């Protein structure tokens, strides 16, 4: 018996012209071998017209597919069978106007987004590198450019002289132009409303009770830099409950997911999403877990095990990944999963679950608290009394804003947001109102000439 069918091997008992689509599938993947005269279980049954097939098959492959294959006559136990060896081709091959590709032990017709991915890859291009004819530089968001310059200066991954260039020069340095046209990556990174050009370029978050009942939901729009900041703010303040503990008089908030791991997971999802798919990234939060579902695909031949092991850098959207790398938002290409796992282990959390299926790539965090926070149940009453006594029940963001305003009391909401990482202008507005309600902050004077007074 022969080896079983696989990614590179297919068995057929007899020849039919329709099997040219299997050869087409091998050509468009990594190549393979089609055997004629062998049953599915690998048993040789032989063919009766071997001589005629040896003449007909190469001609039909040439005429119908426009390629050459190696056709060999084999024999086993006095039974003749045919071996058709197909090499992978560097350009797309079609059969009767349709494109096929070998995937595992199946032959699949490529349609829609899968066909777009295939065509781009065969041309040596990526989705985010495709030019957008109607996208104009003046449409892009100046505030996001300023934010990028601030991040990139801090990271040291771009020359200061390049960061001092105008927006056009910066876009060229980031290789976001294809000739005279901006690439799709430029719209996702710097346009205030990238959904004008890319359907589904937003994130949907929802909180679910047991039984899959949706309690509340939010949508996060804007470019990718804005989305990451908004998501961190939203998930850490609205969707997750922090355990409050004290070390002496120091108040400590512990989230059920390490902030660094969450941020890496969000970056990983945004950078590697297949934006040809119109569905948004989904974040599903439950009482005991968070699921981040990114409608992406793994590189050909990759599995989840490949992601979890040391692997070469293969970002799905390399132009987007490059911009985030230059800004210092990601440390290195190809290390997102590794950094998520490391962040969890360093903070005493278990490793999240990763999986890939037809719906996309999943990152699943279980909610848990390191040992120092598990005393919350036994010390809850004491904690509440302490909180009431000192009159403070502040989040990390609120404490950060107070510290900033002590030094810069005349700062506007926009200036606070631009100088404090991961706090949107809406988040600043909410926290300023909350601090005033708690009697810790007072606005003195008008909007333009006034300042913030901290009430000790």
Comparing 43-47, 294-298, 440-444, the range with the smallest average pLDDT is: 294-298
The Cα 48–Cα 245 span in angstroms is: 81
Relative orientation angle of helices 224-234 and 425-437, to the nearest 10 degrees: 30
Instruction: Output the DSSP codes for 118-170.
Output: HHHHHTT--GGGSEETT--GGGS-HHHHHHHHHHHHHHT-S-HHHHTS-HHHH
Q: What confidence tens digit (pLDDT) does each residue in 45-68 have?
A: 999 889 999 999 999 999 999 999
**Residue 425: per-residue pLDDT:** 86
Write down the residue that tokens 């509340």 correspond to: 216
pLDDT tops 70 at residue 347: yes
- C-beta of residue 128 within 8 angstroms of C-beta of residue 184: yes
The Cα 324–Cα 327 span in angstroms is: 5
pLDDT tops 70 at residue 312: no
β-bridge partners, 252:
245
**Residue 147: per-residue pLDDT:** 94
- Dig out the tokens for 177 from the structure: 């132009």
The Cα 297–Cα 114 span in angstroms is: 10
- C-beta of residue 353 within 8 angstroms of C-beta of residue 362: yes
The Cα 27–Cα 424 span in angstroms is: 50
Tally of CB atoms within 10 A around 393: 13
pLDDT tops 50 at residue 380: no
pLDDT tops 90 at residue 183: yes
CA dihedral 263, 266, 272, 275 (to 10 degrees): -150
**Residue 389: per-residue pLDDT:** 37
- How many distinct helices (H) and strands (E) make up the chain? 16, 20
Q: How confident is the model at residue 379 (pLDDT cuts 50, 70, 90)?
A: very low
- What's this model's pTM, rounded to 2 decimal places? 0.67
**Residue 375: per-residue pLDDT:** 43
CA distances from 255 to 121, 126, 245, 377, 382 (A): 41, 37, 11, 15, 20
Lateral strand order in the sheet of 9-12: 9-12, 32-36, 79-86, 70-76
What is the average per-residue pLDDT within 448-454? Answer: 81
Residues in the chain: 456
Range with top average pLDDT, 175-184, 322-331, 362-371: 175-184
Question: Three-state DSSP class for 97?
Answer: coil
The alpha carbon of 377 is separated from its chain's Cα centroid by a whole number of angstroms, namely 36
pLDDT tops 60 at residue 1: no
Percentages (nearest 5) of helix, strand, coil residues in the chain: 40, 20, 35
Q: How confident is the model at residue 210 (pLDDT cuts 50, 70, 90)?
A: confident
**Residue 332: per-residue pLDDT:** 66
């Amino acid at each position: 018996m022969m080896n079983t069918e696989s990614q590179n091997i297919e068995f057929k008992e007899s020849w039919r012209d329709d099997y040219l689509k299997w050869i087409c599938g091998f050509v468009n993947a990594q190549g393979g071998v089609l055997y004629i005269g062998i049953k599915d279980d690998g048993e040789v049954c032989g063919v009766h017209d071997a001589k005629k097939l040896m003449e007909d098959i190469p001609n039909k492959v040439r005429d119908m597919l426009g390629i050459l294959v190696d056709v060999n006559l084999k024999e086993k136990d006095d039974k003749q069978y045919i071996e058709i060896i197909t090499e992978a081709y560097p350009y797309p091959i079609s059969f009767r106007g349709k494109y096929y590709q070998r995937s595992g032990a199946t032959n699949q017709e490529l349609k829609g987004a899968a066909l777009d991915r295939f065509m781009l890859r065969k041309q040596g291009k990526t989705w985010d590198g495709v030019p957008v004819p109607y996208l104009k530089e003046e449409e892009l968001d100046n505030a996001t450019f300023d934010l990028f310059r601030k991040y990139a200066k801090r990271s040291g991954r771009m020359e200061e002289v390049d960061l001092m260039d105008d927006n056009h020069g910066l876009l060229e340095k980031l290789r976001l132009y294809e000739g005279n046209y901006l690439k799709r990556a430029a719209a996702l990174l710097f346009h205030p409303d990238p959904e004008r050009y890319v359907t589904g370029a937003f994130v949907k978050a929802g909180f679910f009770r047991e039984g899959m009942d949706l309690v509340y939901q939010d949508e996060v729009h804007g470019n990718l830099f804005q989305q990451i900041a908004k998501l961190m703010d939203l998930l850490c303040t609205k969707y997750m409950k922090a355990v409050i503990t004290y070390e002496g008089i120091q108040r400590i908030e512990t989230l059920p997911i390490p902030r660094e791991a969450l941020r890496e997971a969000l970056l990983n999802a945004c950078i590697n999403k297949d934006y040809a798919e119109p569905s948004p990234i989904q974040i599903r939060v439950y009482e005991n877990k968070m699921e981040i579902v990114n409608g992406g695909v793994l590189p050909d031949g990759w599995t989840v095990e490949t992601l979890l092991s040391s692997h070469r850098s293969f970002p799905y959207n390399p132009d987007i990944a490059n911009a985030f790398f230059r800004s210092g938002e990601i440390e290195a290409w190809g290390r997102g999963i590794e950094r998520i796992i490391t962040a969890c282990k360093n903070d005493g959390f278990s490793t999240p679950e990763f999986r890939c299926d037809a719906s996309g790539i999943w990152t699943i965090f279980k909610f848990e608290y390191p040992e120092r926070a598990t005393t919350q149940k036994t010390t809850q009453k004491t904690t509440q009394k302490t909180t009431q006594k000192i009159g403070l029940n502040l989040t990390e963001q609120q404490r950060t804003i107070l510290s900033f305003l002590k030094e810069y009391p005349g700062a506007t909401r926009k200036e606070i947001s631009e100088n404090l990482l991961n706090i949107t202008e809406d988040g600043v507005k909410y926290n300023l109102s909350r601090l005033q309600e708690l009697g810790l902050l007072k606005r003195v004077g008008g909007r333009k000439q006034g300042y913030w007074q901290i009430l000790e």
